[in-house]
Chain A
Amino acid sequence: MKKYIIVWEPDSQKGSPVNNALLKILNEKQLAEKMEIIRSPFIGFTSSGAILRVMPDNLIYTGFRVEDLEGIVNATLAGDRVDKFISSYDNKFLPVEEKDPLSRQFKIVLRNVGYLDPESIEEYISRGGYKALEKALFELGRDGVIAEMKASGLRGRGGAGFPTGLKWELTKKEAGEIKYAICNADEGDPGAYMDRAVLEGDPHSVVEGMIIGGFAVGCTQGFVYIRAEYPLAIERLEKALKDAREMGLLGKDILGSGFDFDIELRWGAGAFVCGEETALIASIEGKRGNPRPRPPFPSVSGLWEKPTFINNVETWANVPVIIEKGGKWMGSIGTEKSKGTKVFAVTGKVKNPGLVEVPMGTTIREIVYDICGGIKDNKNFKAVQTGGPSGGVIAEKYLDMPVDYESLQSIGSIMGSGGLIVMDEDDCMVDVNKFYLQFSVDESCGKCMPCRIGGKQILEILEKISKGNGEMTDIDKIYSISNAMQKASLCALGQTTPNPVLSSLRYFEDEYLAHIKDKKCYTGKCKDLVQYTVIPEKCIGCGLCATRCPVKCITGEKRKPYLIDTKACIKCGECYNVCKFDAVKRG
Chain B
Amino acid sequence: MDKMKKGDLSKFRKEYKKLSGSEIVISMGTCGIAAGGDRVYKIIEKDLNDNGIKNVIIKKTGCLGLCFCEPNIIVRMEGMPEVLYGNVDEKTAHMIISEHVIKKNIVNNYVIFMPTNDIGKNIFKDQGR
Give residues in A with beta carbon < 8 Å to B. 4, 6, 8, 36, 38-45, 53, 55-56, 58, 91, 94, 98-100, 102-103, 105-108, 110-120, 122, 125-128, 130-131, 134, 137-138, 193, 196-198, 200-202, 230, 232-233, 246-249, 253, 255-257, 321, 325, 347, 351-357
Contacts and interface: CB of A to CB of B under 8 A. Distances in A.
Nearest to B104: A2
Given A41-B110, A44-B115, A249 B120 contact: no
Nearest to B64: A114
A197 B63 contact: yes
A232 B37 CA distance: 14
Interface in B1-40: 1-6, 8-10, 12-13, 16, 25, 27, 29-31, 33
Contacts of A94: 117
Given A113-B65, A114-B62, A126 B5 contact: no
Nearest to B107: A38
A41 B112 contact: yes
Interface stretch (B45-53, B90-98, B121-129): B121-129
Given A193-B31, A200-B30, A256-B3, 6 more contacts: A42-B113, A102-B115, A105-B115, A113-B63, A118-B61, A137-B6
B65 A257 contact: no
25 contacts: A4-B106, A39-B109, A39-B111, A41-B112, A44-B114, A44-B115, A44-B116, A53-B113, A94-B117, A100-B115, A100-B117, A107-B119, A113-B64, A120-B59, A134-B9, A200-B63, A201-B29, A201-B61, A201-B62, A248-B2, A255-B5, A255-B8, A321-B119, A354-B66, A355-B67
B120 A112 contact: yes
Given A100-B122, A232-B30, A248 B5 contact: yes
A127 B108 CA distance: 31
Interface residues of B, number: 54
Nearest to B111: A40
A22 to B, nearest CB: 12
A58 B16 contact: no
Nearest to A329: B119
A572 to B, nearest CB: 27
Given A103-B115, A232-B30, A125 B9 contact: yes
Contacts of B3: 246-248, 253, 256
A40 to B, nearest CB: 4
Contacts of B68: 42, 351-354
B117 A99 contact: yes
Contacts of A115: 25, 61, 74, 120-121, 123
Contacts of A39: 108-109, 111
Contact of B61 (A116, A127, A138): A116
A122 B1 CA distance: 11
Contacts of B9: 125, 130-131, 134, 255
A201 B9 CA distance: 22
B62 A113 contact: yes
A356 B12 CA distance: 32
Interface in B65-84: 65-69, 74, 81
A44 B66 CA distance: 10
A88 B106 CA distance: 28
A126 B121 contact: no
A138 B6 contact: yes
A55 B27 CA distance: 23
Contact of A41 (B86, B124, B125): B86
B118 A111 contact: yes
Contacts of B10: 131
B39 to A, nearest CB: 16
Contacts of A130: 9
Contacts of B13: 125-126, 128
A122 B120 CA distance: 16
A119 B59 CA distance: 10
A100 B29 CA distance: 28
Contacts of B61: 113-118, 201
Nearest to B5: A256
Contacts of B117: 91, 94, 98-100, 103, 105-107
A53 B2 CA distance: 47
Contact of A36 (B5, B67, B106): B106
Of the candidates B16, B60, B114, the one having the most CB atoms from chain A within 10 angstroms of its own CB is B114
B119 A38 contact: no
A214 to B, nearest CB: 18
Contacts of B112: 40-43
